[in-house]
Structure 1
């Protein structure tokens, strides 16, 4: 059985299921791991000695996952083919002392994570999800996926200039959500509520990493349902495509000249500098241990890394019909036009000419179109895990993705065909 040459709209249906099941990075990697388990992958612990057996393996660390498939008989110096992505999205995250409020309102104290479009979080029904750390040292995922919180916008009658001057939000004063009524703020109320939701005894939770999410489910949009609206497409769309591609390649039965890898990191939206971020040691450590577990030496590790290529897959900007002047005049990526190759000569993206050739070959093999994104010279360019991965590990890296609108909104917009076109390209890249 060979890997499918083309996914269809069923892949996009499944993406929406994945988005709904993954309100936080911790849930995203758990969902990806569950899917890889069904494809025969098995979790390995970083504290155990690793064996050099063939097959699929993965490591979970917080909100990050690294998964790889070792073909039967793979040499210690076999290069890797890596799909890189990130699991985090800009949002509102709960502070260490979450219980607050004023004037008869009970509120939750939140901090701004990353660079969200803050207005998109106003007047939206929000749930609460994340990771609870327990007294016994274990962790528990929690997801209150129902309307629980809301950040109410000030009525226009009390802000008469908002239409002319634009909405101006103070990150500290204006974005604290309400979740009930009461004149007395009681420390511990929110965590006690979540202990009940998770079926835990009172006092079991001693730490937490919690964040809000929109409870409105993803949906097809448009006259012909050619668009998809949903949360966290930046960048769970790439995590989902990478997971599907790795599982397909691992179960294809094809001869693989490379070791296919999925590396999905946390904290990209805040600079990647953490033990679960792309600027940390996680990926390098896993790849090195894979080489050494197969009896390899440092020389084998150097040979493997020298032949490795990474596709850093992240969302990019589709041309906006209302702001076309903000885009480069000769590069207008369109939704449903296929994945995008992201280029910046100042190395905000890692793509160079040789990397373009690798991606073009994958798209040609998959028989899909691709587009190129370049920023307008007058505007600063964003960045990805691509340059970090290339510099930290000395491996050839190419920045790609899917073109979307409303990036960093609580609800983003993509073409309904692009997710499965991206997955096609990733299969062709992992199984050249």
Structure 2
């Protein structure tokens, strides 16, 4: 496609996006900044939208989920929507409400495991801290602000091999006792006031917040090491939160490069890694409520959805060269070989032969290679927002993703081309004429 960015600028932009998005809150802020710079107007859920004029809009929920849409004609025209979605959250370690622990001269920060994190790689890493805090001044209203320490503030040291000779053969991790980060030493034997620490950081990042009283927080540890290109030919990328911020970035860029011409909608949901059951998750009412406001007449809304396609973008498993026996033999996605079409007979993915066929046609138009993945019958299959969205609003859905290694690790690996391939496919999807979404079924 003309006017789309090329692989190297795409990766550069992706790395900037990842660096600016250590949490779901920051990912939504980063996404909103890109949309605003490209002419999307912000809406508030609490406002009366009235009859929206043709144009580009976005809104947020809980600071951690976002919906953006472009309407080329008034909503009552009942045209189909090109819809796509991804999720903003990643497995990590979340700070407990009262986290400070004083143990043998070390001040540690208690955490909970968020999502299905691969835990071993969290040891011996430079960890920083980011998230959202709610606060007020005496007698004032509730306010919230995002924080990002942007420097290493903690580490989870491994137990030395001398004290655990079987660590390389039989190591297990106790989530309660083994994963508590060390934040500082306490030579005088005194603990710290965590709220005061957050208050100082708030003032540093948001001047003018003197006198703030911290009320609550949603804070997460993250890997401070920046993403990088890896390999003798730099054909790989390595970084935190590739699952699923790479998909989020591809969706956002595809929605603005080039400017939208067809009616489209993208949704970035939070809480996918914990089951999507929340007001801002895919099992919540966020997407449905927006569609109901855009198309208030039920019959009209059903007609729009009947003409629409939803692309659920979430990373797929590339074949690991050290563990090929863990994969279905005839379905071995490789890095830099294209977008993966994900299928599952038990509806863990929403792809069927119609939506899958439409996506293959789309990739053919975009000159993007396609691979296919199914899980082995003797292994459990993960899921995505795809089946949840399809069930909630009744839209034809296809599950796709870029192949990756070390999914749910603190750092994941992907091919340097595959994110760009996904972006190309999505950009084509958002620009193609309406007939590219049409499935002509046999008539009786």
Please, what TM-score do these two structures have when normalized by structure 2? 0.92
- For 1:127 and 1:313, how far apart are their aligned partners in 2? 28
Find the counterpart in structure 2 of residue 181 from structure 1: 185
Q: CA deviation at 1:185?
A: 5.2
Q: Indicate the residue corresponding to 1:142 in structure 2.
A: 147
In 2: Cα distance, 1:345 partner to 1:268 partner: 21
1:178-219 Cα deviation digits (max 9, x unpaired): 1111164546x2221122112143552211100000000000
| Deviation larger for 306-315 or 3-12 | 3-12
Match in the other structure for 2:55:
55
Write the deviation string for residues 282-327 of structure 1: whole angstroms up to 9, x where unpaired.
Answer: 00111121123xxxx2221111122221100000100000000000
Alignment of 1:15 with 2:35, yes or no, is no
**Aligned residues of 2:312 and 2:399 also touching (Cα < 8 A):** yes
Assess, with a 3 A threshold, how the Cα gap between structure 1 residues 164 and 299 changes in structure 2: closer, same or farther: closer
SS at 2:130's partner residue? Answer: strand
Return the alpha-carbon distance in structure 2 between the equivalents of residues 163 and 305 of structure 1.
53
- Would you say 1:83 and 2:87 are equivalent positions? no
Q: Deviations over 1:242-280 (max 9, x none)?
A: 00001125x25x4x2xx2111000000000000010000
Does the C-alpha gap of structure 1 residues 311 and 185 become closer, same or farther in structure 2, counting only changes over 3 Å?
farther
Determine which of 274, 277, 281 is the counterpart of 1:273.
277
Q: Distance in 2 between matches of 1:305 and 1:311?
A: 13
Which position in structure 2 is the counterpart of 1:239?
248
Matched, 1:416 2:416: yes
Instruction: State the Cα distance separating 1:4 from its structure 2 match.
Output: 2.9
Q: Deviations over 1:111-170 (max 9, x none)?
A: 1100111111100000000001122222100001111011111000110111232x2110
Quick one: distance in 2 between partners of 1:386 and 1:156?
44
- Cross-structure match for 2:164: 159
Q: 5 Å matches for 1:285-304?
A: 285-292=289-296, 297-304=297-304
Measured at CA, do residues 203 and 6 of structure 1 come closer, stay the same or move farther in structure 2, by a change above 3 Å? Answer: closer
* Equivalent-residue separation in structure 1 for 2:253 and 2:102 (angstroms): 44
SS in 1 for 2:268: strand
RCO higher in 1 or 2 (8 Å CA, sep ≥ 6)?
A: 1
Deviation of the 1:333 alpha carbon: 0.3
Check whether the contact 2:5–2:257 (CA below 8 A) recurs between aligned residues: no
- Alpha-carbon distance between aligned partners in 2 of 1:280 and 1:349, rounded to the nearest angstrom: 18
Q: Give the 3-state SS of the residue equivalent to 2:290 in structure 1.
A: helix
Q: Distance in 2 between matches of 1:396 and 1:192?
A: 50
* 3-state SS, counterpart of residue 9 of structure 2: helix
Matches within 5 A, 1:14-413: 14-51=13-50, 52-62=52-62, 63-73=64-74, 75-135=76-136, 136-165=141-170, 167-182=171-186, 184=189, 186=191, 189-199=193-203, 200-201=209-210, 203-249=212-258, 251-252=259-260, 254=261, 256=262, 259-292=263-296, 297-413=297-413
Unaligned runs of 5+ in 1: none
* 2:442 paired residue number: none
Q: CA RMSD in A?
A: 1.4
Structure 2 unaligned blocks of 5 or more: 204-208, 433-444
**SS of match in other structure, 1:111:** strand
Aligned length: 420
